């Protein structure tokens, strides 16, 4: 029988769009009409389960799904025995402790003997233990940021991204206790056949991810500066050099990470490079 793998993705929320675009960028076609709970790809041996993110670690650990895409915060909080196959680089956020603005804060001992509202009692509990702090944890499932103003708790421990929710609720972030991004997780006892499909998927995801973090650079340079320019943008094996119609000039094509490009731009210009084009790469297989 031909194997098929099953991946659990968030049905709707902050992880959904990026999870599904990543899968589409891997060339995997599927239909996900609104309200659908399950769908199968038409061109890759994979089936999708659309779930609440809270349930994804458990479904993967139990083998109902072979793979899942979930935030590290949810994964660690649920404490399920799964393998992290890949960090996906999206839905980045942090879990932080925050207190009402204006309170005097001199360190984490502030929380000793106080009450903290959170949806992440395990991560918070582990953190407080590691800091030798004894605080009362109030577990609530949503709108954590209003807990201090309604008198439920003196501080909160919640996900922060831009910080505007804290600001709007008169809170300030005092400790970052956990950093999170979306990860691809896998069941720990997949069959050889399923593992072979997972490898194919990972190969595609790596190619998409590499493509995103790298750029194709084209520039014109006087032949006399080619050595300097090649040293600045060495590319995958070496850059492509093509003669321009104008005598004494060449076109240089290379690939480099976007960060590297900005670091080297001054050097390239000083070496006489001009007409510099930076083009996105869709996929990159090394």
Contact footprint for Zn ion (CB under 5 A)? 53-54
The gap between the terminal CA atoms of the chain, to the nearest Å, is 33
Pseudo-torsion of CA 87, 88, 93, 95, nearest 10°? -30
| Residue reference for tokens 């399950």 | 38
Q: Which is nearer to Zn ion, 184 or 255 (CB)?
A: 184
Q: How far is the CB of 185 from ligand PRT (least distance, A)?
A: 13
Does position 250 interact with ligand PRT (CB under 6 A)? The reply is no
Q: How far is the CB of 54 from ligand PRT (least distance, A)?
A: 5
Among 5, 7, 9, 15, binds ligand PRT (CB under 6 A): 15
Q: Which is nearer to Zn ion, 185 or 208 (CB)?
A: 185
Extract the tokens encoding 159.
């996900």
Q: How far is CA 271 from the centre of its chain?
A: 36
Q: Which is nearer to ligand PRT, 95 or 273 (CB)?
A: 95
Contacts (CB under 6 A) with ligand PRT, residues 91-110: 91, 93
Q: How far is the CB of 167 from ligand PRT (least distance, A)?
A: 8
Pick the closest to residue 208 from 81, 33, 90, 37 (CA basis): 90
Question: Which strands sit side by side in the sheet containing 249-257, from one edge to the other?
Answer: 240-243, 249-257, 214-222, 274-280
Q: Which is nearer to ligand PRT, 72 or 254 (CB)?
A: 72
Alpha carbons 177 and 170: distance in angstroms, whole number: 20
Q: Which is nearer to ligand PRT, 98 or 197 (CB)?
A: 98
Stretch binding ligand PRT (CB under 6 A), from 51-59, 146-154, 186-194, 275-283: 51-59
- The residues near 275 (Cβ < 8 Å, ≥ 6 apart) are 218, 219, 220
Contacts (CB under 6 A) with ligand PRT, residues 124-163: 158-163
**What is the per-residue burial (b if ≥16 Cβ within 10 Å, else e) of 11-42?**
beebbbebbbebbebbebebebeeeeeebebe
Residues that bind ligand PRT (CB under 6 A): 10, 13-15, 52-54, 71, 73-74, 91, 93, 158-165, 180
């Amino acid at each position: 029988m031909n194997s098929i793998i099953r991946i659990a993705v968030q049905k709707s929320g902050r992880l959904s769009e990026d999870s599904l675009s990543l899968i589409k960028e891997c060339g995997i076609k599927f239909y996900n009409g609104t309200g659908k709970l399950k769908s199968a790809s038409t061109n890759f041996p994979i089936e999708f389960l659309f779930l609440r993110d809270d349930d994804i670690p458990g479904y993967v650990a139990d083998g109902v799904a072979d793979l899942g895409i979930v935030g590290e915060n949810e994964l660690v909080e649920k404490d399920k025995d799964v393998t992290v196959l890949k960090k996906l680089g999206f839905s980045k956020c942090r879990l932080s402790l925050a207190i009402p603005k204006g309170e005097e804060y001199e360190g984490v001992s502030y929380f000793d003997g106080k009450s903290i509202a959170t949806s992440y009692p395990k991560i918070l509990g582990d953190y407080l233990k590691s800091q030798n702090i004894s605080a009362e944890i109030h577990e609530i499932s949503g709108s954590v940021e209003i807990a201090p103003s309604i008198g439920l708790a003196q501080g909160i421990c919640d996900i922060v991204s831009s910080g505007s929710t804290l600001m709007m609720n008169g809170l300030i972030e005092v400790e970052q206790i956990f950093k999170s991004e979306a990860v691809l997780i896998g069941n720990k006892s997949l069959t050889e056949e399923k593992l072979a499909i997972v490898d194919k998927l990972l190969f595609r995801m790596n190619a998409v991810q590499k493509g995103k973090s790298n750029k194709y650079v084209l520039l014109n340079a006087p032949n006399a500066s080619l050595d300097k320019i090649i040293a600045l943008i060495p590319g995958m094996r070496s850059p492509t050099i093509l003669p321009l119609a104008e005598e004494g000039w060449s076109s240089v094509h290379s690939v480099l990470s976007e960060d590297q490009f900005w670091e080297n731009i001054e050097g390239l210009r000083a070496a006489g490079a001009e007409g510099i084009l930076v083009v996105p790469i869709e996929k990159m297989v090394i």
